[in-house]
Chains A and B, each alone.
Chain A
Amino acid sequence: MREITLSQAVNEAIAEEMRRDPTVFIMGEDVAEAGTPFKVLSGLVEEFGTTRVIDTPISEPGFVGLAVGAAMTGARPIVDLMFGDFIYLVMDQLCNQAAKQHYMSGGKLKVPMVLRTNMGATRRSAAQHSQSLQALVAHIPGLKVAMPSSAYEAKGLMKTAIRDNNPVVIFEDKLMYQDKAPVPEEEYLIPFGVANIKREGTDITFIATSSMVQVAEKAADILAKEGISAEVIDPRTIVPLDEATLIESVRKTSRAIVIDEGHQSYGVTAEIASRLNEKAFYHLDAPVLRMGAMDVPVPFSPALEDVTVPTPETVAANARKLCAGEMIDAA
């Protein structure tokens, strides 16, 4: 099978859906000729023109608001938010407007829009261009949240997001744009709320999102050499969450570490760990461990930044302790 980058996969997904449905359009800062700073959208404006690939002013609340209104009245907008950190700027439009219209109208209005943005530290971009803010939006009923972990996942989840009748936020890890993976030529979609068991194991379950899936797989490789068998599960979407698959795995392995690049406190890892405690407690041999980013603003210096996020080594070290029945010094 051919291999393409995550960036190409997103581009293909959007192009295919724009060809399929004339109501799909994309807007954001420098999405047209520039194709975004990461060049993810290069070539789209040449095919679809500036009426459907719309460069906006630097007005995040404004253009997200426009997307909400366009979605409520029959279009399927994709909004490009250049950095995930800018989500704070659009919280009213996303959380008070987009997320609640369907409910507040008693089911009469719909907001089929996609907000695609990014996440991920260790790009030396400091505290306002490095955050992973999926927990903020996952907290809000009415929004769906997808976190692709590879080019294959990114394409299938994006296509599903565009066809979904709800506001969907997709977080792409900006360090993975050039990562290649096998992606079929023929069309496919990945349904929301269906976790992917990336690797089967028997001693411990790693539940990991986005780029943390790679971290978990590398940790599993390290542990395999030591005779510890780790299962790796990618939930793909954190809203909706495929709780059943996660619980089933933990019942089997009796131990779990949840890994996500958002801040650890009050985060995605806390939510998933809590659900496992509530629903698989009597099958557990050790506390479910959270591993998120440190609760500090992301520092600039490489010497500092690299220690703020989970790594294969730290995940493997914690897994060893859990499997040995040792206490964890958790944050």
Chain B
Amino acid sequence: MAKTKTNTEDYLRMYRQMVRIRTFEDNANQLYLSAKMPGLTHMYSGEEAVAVGICEALTDDDRITSTHRGHGHCVAKGANFKEMFCELLGKEEGYCRGKGGSMHIADQSHGNLGANAIVGGSMGIATGSALRAKLLGQTDVTVCFFGDGATAQGLLYEVMNMAALWHLPVIYACENNGYSEYTKTEEIAAGSITARAEAFGIEAFKVDGQDVLAVNELTQTLVARCRKGEGPFFIELETYRYHGHHVGDINREYYRSKDEEKDWKENRDPIVRFRAWLVDQGIATEDEIEAMNAEIEADATKAVAYAEAAKYPDVSEVNMHVYAD
């Protein structure tokens, strides 16, 4: 963990946001298991330090693009539980009026350009957002989240080439959770992932994605450099996905062992680690942390109940929003 700092509010907010993500996902998983959620979803649990470490280095003007595993990014970029659970259940008050669901969830008002159900599908959007910033003389930075699996998409190399040629303010954040759906990353990725970015002359970094302070510190530096016109950058964040590829991926021993999952959960959990650090540094007491956890759990319970009781959109909305006025 990084050295002691004095901005305790930031640390407590980072902790809170990580717990909010974990809590959101636990509740979403329960909704799925109890057959209350239509469709399926992909859990972010285990990767919280990545979304929070990065998004805490951004302002509301900065943009992100998210992935099919997007609940974490959505929470970290400032979304509320109520509208998120409503979206998950396809309700009218959801962020996308129930038209997006889990795989397109986003609070657009905080600069989230959407979760994307095509693996690697948002790399063009993120880079285009950065091109717009440069073209219109705006100072915001765009972060493109994607997984290790998406590094196999050709689009990444097309857009990194252009981002590097034109010095665009974009940060490519590769969440390497070790698995491309149901396949080990080492079976789908030849050579080094960061070297691919470096081939375009993009500075690339590898960071422990379970260490929220390390992620945050690196991102702050890179965001500041992007604003000065020194972008783009590439970060590979080593992390781990506690659940399967999706919520229904229960029996997964054919691709990874229970021992491996246990090891990550017991020894590298980003929340457990950060909590211990907060206590050790005297930033928060165990009691204060327990109280915070309970408050978040209560918020989630309330939001789930609200969403369950909320209205579905009127059927007349089915052909609304096909075209903008």
The interface bits of chain B over 181-192 (1 if a CB of A lies within 8 angstroms of the residue's CB, else 0) are 000000000000
Chain B residues closer than 8 Å to A92, beta-carbon distance: 118, 121
CB distance from A312 to the nearest CB of B (A): 36
Contact for A107 among B97, B132, B136, CB less than 8 A: B97
Tell me the chain A residues, 124-181 only, with Cβ under 8 Å from chain B.
Answer: 141-142, 144, 165-166
CB distance from B149 to the nearest CB of A (A): 16
A62 touching B97, Cβ below 8 Å: no
Chain A residues closer than 8 Å to B159, beta-carbon distance: 59, 62, 65-66
Q: Does B178 contact A (CB under 8 A)?
A: no
Q: Using known A-B contacts A57-B162, A105-B106, A106-B94, determine if residue A66 contacts B131 with beta carbons closer than 8 Å.
A: yes
CA distance A51 to B168 in the complex (A): 13
CA distance A93 to B127 in the complex (A): 13
The interface bits of chain B over 86-129 (1 if a CB of A lies within 8 angstroms of the residue's CB, else 0) are 00000000111111100010101100011010100111111111
B96 touching A104, Cβ below 8 Å: yes
B113 touching A61, Cβ below 8 Å: no
Q: Does B315 contact A (CB under 8 A)?
A: no
B129 touching A57, Cβ below 8 Å: no
CB distance from B3 to the nearest CB of A (A): 37
B124 touching A62, Cβ below 8 Å: yes
B126 touching A69, Cβ below 8 Å: yes
Contact for B100 among A22, A68, A106, CB less than 8 A: A106
Q: Using known A-B contacts A59-B162, A66-B162, determine if residue A52 contacts B135 with beta carbons closer than 8 Å.
A: yes
Chain A residues closer than 8 Å to B161, beta-carbon distance: 57, 59, 62
A65 touching B321, Cβ below 8 Å: no
A109 touching B135, Cβ below 8 Å: no
Q: Does A71 contact B (CB under 8 A)?
A: yes
Q: Does B323 contact A (CB under 8 A)?
A: yes
Q: Does B158 contact A (CB under 8 A)?
A: yes
Chain A residues closer than 8 Å to B133, beta-carbon distance: 73
Contact for B114 among A63, A67, A109, CB less than 8 A: A109
- Name B319's closest neighbour in chain A (CB-CB): A141
- Name A60's closest neighbour in chain B (CB-CB): B158
What number of residue pairs across chains A and B have CB atoms under 8 A from each other? 146
Q: Using known A-B contacts A66-B159, A96-B121, A105-B100, determine if residue A25 contacts B324 with beta carbons closer than 8 Å.
A: no
CB distance from B87 to the nearest CB of A (A): 9
- Name B111's closest neighbour in chain A (CB-CB): A73
Q: Does A97 contact B (CB under 8 A)?
A: yes
Contact for A97 among B124, B132, B320, CB less than 8 A: B124
Contact for A73 among B109, B132, B155, B324, CB less than 8 A: B132
A72 touching B121, Cβ below 8 Å: no
Q: Does B266 contact A (CB under 8 A)?
A: no
A107 touching B321, Cβ below 8 Å: yes
Tell me the chain B residues, 140-171 only, with Cβ under 8 Å from chain A.
Answer: 142, 154-155, 158-159, 161-162, 165
The interface bits of chain A over 189-217 (1 if a CB of B lies within 8 angstroms of the residue's CB, else 0) are 00000000000000000000000000000
For A, the interface residue count at a CB cutoff of 8 angstroms equals 45
Chain A residues closer than 8 Å to B126, beta-carbon distance: 69
Most chain A beta carbons < 10 A, residue from B116, B155, B158: B158
Chain A residues closer than 8 Å to B127, beta-carbon distance: 62, 65-66, 69
A97 touching B121, Cβ below 8 Å: yes
Q: Does A102 contact B (CB under 8 A)?
A: yes
- Name A96's closest neighbour in chain B (CB-CB): B118
Q: Does B325 contact A (CB under 8 A)?
A: yes
A59 touching B125, Cβ below 8 Å: no
Chain B residues closer than 8 Å to A67, beta-carbon distance: 128
Chain A residues closer than 8 Å to B116, beta-carbon distance: 97
Q: Does A74 contact B (CB under 8 A)?
A: yes
Q: Using known A-B contacts A102-B321, A105-B104, A106-B95, determine if residue A72 contacts B129 with beta carbons closer than 8 Å.
A: yes
Chain A contact residues, CB within 8 Å of chain B: 22-23, 25, 51-52, 56-57, 59, 61-75, 77, 92-93, 96-97, 101-112, 141-142, 144, 165-166
Chain B contact residues, CB within 8 Å of chain A: 63, 65, 94-100, 104, 106, 108-109, 113-114, 116, 118, 121-133, 135-136, 142, 154-155, 158-159, 161-162, 165, 320-325
Known: A59-B161, A61-B154. 8 other contacts (CB 8 A): A25-B135, A57-B165, A66-B131, A69-B129, A93-B124, A104-B96, A106-B96, A110-B324
Contacts A/B (CB < 8 Å), 19 sampled: A23-B135, A62-B124, A62-B158, A62-B159, A65-B124, A65-B158, A66-B127, A68-B128, A69-B113, A70-B128, A75-B135, A92-B118, A97-B122, A103-B321, A106-B98, A106-B100, A107-B324, A109-B108, A111-B324
